[in-house]
Amino acid sequence: MSILVTGGAGYIGSHTCVELLNAGNEIIVLDNLSNSKPEALDRIKEITGKDFEFYQADLLNKNELMTIFSENKIDAVIHFAGLKAVGESVSIPLHYYHNNITGTLILCEVMEKFGVYNLVFSSSATVYGLQQCVPLHEELPTGATNPYGRTKLMIEEILRDVHVANNKWSIALLRYFNPVGAHSSGRIGEDPNGIPNNLVPYITQVTVGKLPKLKVFGNDYPTEDGTGVRDYIHVVDLAAGHLMALEKVMDSQGVNAYNLGTGIGYSVLEMIDAFERASGNSIPYEIIDRRPGDIGVSYADSSKAKQELNWVAQKGIDDMCRDSWRWQINNPNGYEKDQVKRKISVT
Ligand code: NAD
Ligand code: WQD
């Protein structure tokens, strides 16, 4: 099968590209590299020993998309490309709405033009909003608390409308919980710009000495130790979920939302503990106030993905921490080391 992967140079996209290639698929990667580095693409090739076409292109540029679809035979699209920083989305909402929503509209228009109706979309558990009723299942009412979350919610709705208008569409809306971890090779992983917003990359940077200490956002939630509880999911399990969703999309029609999580929640303090075990280092932290907009507890009911996609997360918290740690110590500055090498070899 030949799959267009938008955002394929990014964190989840790069891991999914590895799994797609290992399963014998052809891929075409589209990314504008606004939040990723070309080295990730070199490393996908290195891990898999396989080559693929890369277009440094922007979803907002319809002509570029038209070129990609006319130069390649595409059976399905996995659509990761989007901006994802919650805080930034509050500061520059128009940019988020334009990039994520307009980008998806243009992608769907071009797909229709070329008769490609199979789509796997990166949604998020953020579409459950402030829902208190855990485990979170797909039938719960949705909501959003910030512009980023609203882009995911609006795109889900748009994709449902697109299918109502033309029932050739077959779409999986994958609602990821908290993706963490890295490929076991230690060659690809999460490479946030600047100071990380998310817990695990923050912990890894504290552990490696790049940041002085972790700030734990609140210990007065109604959880066992008072800190926030989340459903952390290994990025390689998540990548595997995309292959299962793709299979489903290829032999059915309609729009289906699936939670991709482990079904197990861990608190911030439990994550610190697991990371100390994995790294052999102690992690300094202080408790500060709650982060505005955070919920206390979030974990998935993933039984629909199990029943309909035959997908179950295989990896546990120790795998997640070990693999995140391996990626961090092998690449203390993310993909930056390779860029320095490149510059040197050019001069
Ligand atoms: P990422 O930023 O690492 O990857 C997204 C990629 O999309 C980047 O490489 C970026 O350069 C590219 N991109 C952005 N806008 C583009 C555009 N207009 N045209 C072309 N390329 C563009 O993020 P990720 O963590 O891999 O997330 C992938 C998807 O999953 C995103 O849609 C994100 O919202 C969603 N998601 C992520 C998480 C998470 O915590 N990482 C959780 C739930 C959902
Ligand atoms: C996890 C827990 C924090 C950082 C976010 C987005 C969501 C989705 C995934 C894309 C919480 C606590 C965190 C820190 C801390 N992204 N924490 N100190 O908030 O569940 O989800 O990323 O769709 O939309 O909102 O993930 O990793 O930021 O936080 O104490 O420095 O760690 O309060 O309990 P979150 P997170």
Tell me, in angstroms, the distance from the centre of ligand 2 to residue 286's CA. Answer: 16
Tell me, in angstroms, the distance from the centre of ligand 2 to residue 197's CA. Answer: 7
The pLDDT of residue 300: 98
Which residues does the annotation mark as catalytic? Answer: 148
Q: Specify the pairing of strand 170-176 against strand 76-79.
A: unpaired
pTM: 0.97
CB atoms under 10 Å from CB of 129, counted, come to: 17
Query: Atom 26 (ligand 2): residue with closest C-alpha?
Result: 198
Which atom of ligand 1 sits closest to the CA of residue 191? 3
The pLDDT of residue 132: 80
The pLDDT of residue 344: 35
Ligand 1 site residues, Cβ closer than 6 angstroms:
7, 9-13, 31-36, 58-60, 80-84, 99, 103, 122, 124, 176, 179
CB-based contacts of 301, cutoff 8 Å, min separation 6:
135, 136, 137, 138, 259, 263
The pLDDT of residue 337: 56
Query: Terminal CA-to-CA distance of the chain, rounded, Å?
Result: 41
Tell me, in angstroms, the distance from the centre of ligand 2 to residue 156's CA. Answer: 22
Query: Atom 28 (ligand 1): residue with closest C-alpha?
Result: 80
CA angle, corner 133, sides to 128 and 138, nearest 5?
45
Name the DSSP letter for residue 261: S
d(CA 213, CA 33): 30
Torsion of the alpha carbons at 195, 197, 203 and 208, rounded to the nearest 10: -20
Lookup: tokens for 10: 């990014």
Which atom of ligand 2 sits closest to the CA of residue 267? 34
Show the low-confidence residues of the chain (pLDDT under 50): 338, 340-347
